Structure 1
């Protein structure tokens, strides 16, 4: 049986500001922003990822203090290019750190406006062997409209 991690609740203080940060600056896909008189819930997914972030004003999404999620980790095939992309979009990022010279040993980081922090790890092998096949990912996004 497969067990897939598909959603992580991210504690934020301002839903609209967080949508703008993750969609417009970081480049996550906005899957949905559901608002009605009872709730506001947003889900975004990093390009190529099978796991999304969700935030909103439902009680289950307000259990953690905004900014209390630390060291969520993203993986990219080229950390220098990813870092530059975020810099070009106005995101403050840390310097590249090479912890080990082998594949998987290069990192940088950034934080959202509330202080939730992210590590970005370079695994060059992801360029040729993504965890989710690109054609399957493209079909999924096309089906969502």
Structure 2
């Protein structure tokens, strides 16, 4: 069986604000369709990704900002962070995890981490692939993680 993740539904509170944010981040707008006053769908794809995000009116009952740990893979985290910052996106400082691989997100007053994780400032000491991170959130608090991957694990 060949399965691929196609789309993630994001819970947001303001469609136009979210649309402006994801345009600013640099995602490609694929669709902005309004069927009626109760249904509008906005569909974006990150550059180079096969997986998209979708949000809008009538899309999900989940509370805005409740999606965390959405990973964006970058080949150079310093460059990616600088580009987002230049676009006006508030991005955390670059960090690595002292206890192994980081899995989670910190945004606003919410922390999602596996016990034992230790967030250490700066790039991974060996600049290991999968080892350096930065985080940002959309206006509703949905949490994104930038992860530097320079060499894919076998089978990926």
TM-score interval (norm. to shorter): 0.7 to 0.9
Tell me whether 99-108 or 64-73 shows the greater mean CA deviation.
99-108
Whole-Å separation in 1 of the counterparts to 2:34 and 2:151 = 40
1:110 to 136, 143, 147: 136
Shift of 1:56: 1.1
More helix by share: 1
**1:9 aligned partner:** 9
Unaligned runs of 5+ in 2: 98-123
**1:31 aligned partner:** 30
Runs of 4+ with deviation above 3 angstroms: none
Shift of 1:98: 2.5
More strand by share: 2
Shift of 1:112: 0.4
Unaligned runs of 5+ in 1: 132-145
For the aligned residue pairs, the C-alpha RMSD in angstroms reads 1.4
Aligned residues: 124
* SS of structure 2 residue aligned to 1:13: coil
What is the TM-score of this pair, normalised by structure 2? Answer: 0.75
